[in-house]
Copies of this chain bind each other. A is one copy, B any other.
Amino acid sequence: MKTEGTARYADMFAALGSEPRLQIVRLLLSAHPDGMIVSDIQAELGIPNSTLSHHLEKLRMEGLVSIKKDKQWLWYSTNAAALQDLLGFLYAECCTRSKVVKPVSITSAKARR
């Protein structure tokens, strides 16, 4: 078992491990690839600006989102490479390295409840 990297993946999971941050990521996935500006995220989720800013910083620190500046706005968007990395890790752990989860149960899943 490749053990190096575990700490980094744990940190990425931790970044997704709070409801506000997971909501942010889901929202940004919906808005991909343009992303969203902070005030629109705030309007959507109703999180105070300072709190939201901290959550966005944490997601950025783990590489899950990235920023592009345009005029006075910051556009946050999900980082596809990081999500692919994390999803690939979890998939490999569950479906490849171990056979705990059947691949087809993931890829052919009906619309989620």
Contact = CB atoms under 8 A, between A and B. Distances in A.
A15 B16 CA distance: 10
A1 B26 contact: yes
Nearest to A12: B17
Interface string A1-20: 11101110111111111110
A5 B88 contact: no
Nearest to A20: B10
A19 B12 CA distance: 11
Interface in A33-82: 33, 78, 80
Interface SS majority for chain A:
helix
- Chain A's interface size range is 35 or more
A17 to B, nearest CB: 3
Given A84-B101, A87-B101, A107-B103, A6 B26 contact: yes
Contacts of A27: 1
A82 to B, nearest CB: 10
Given A88-B112, A105-B88, A17 B26 contact: no
A100 to B, nearest CB: 5
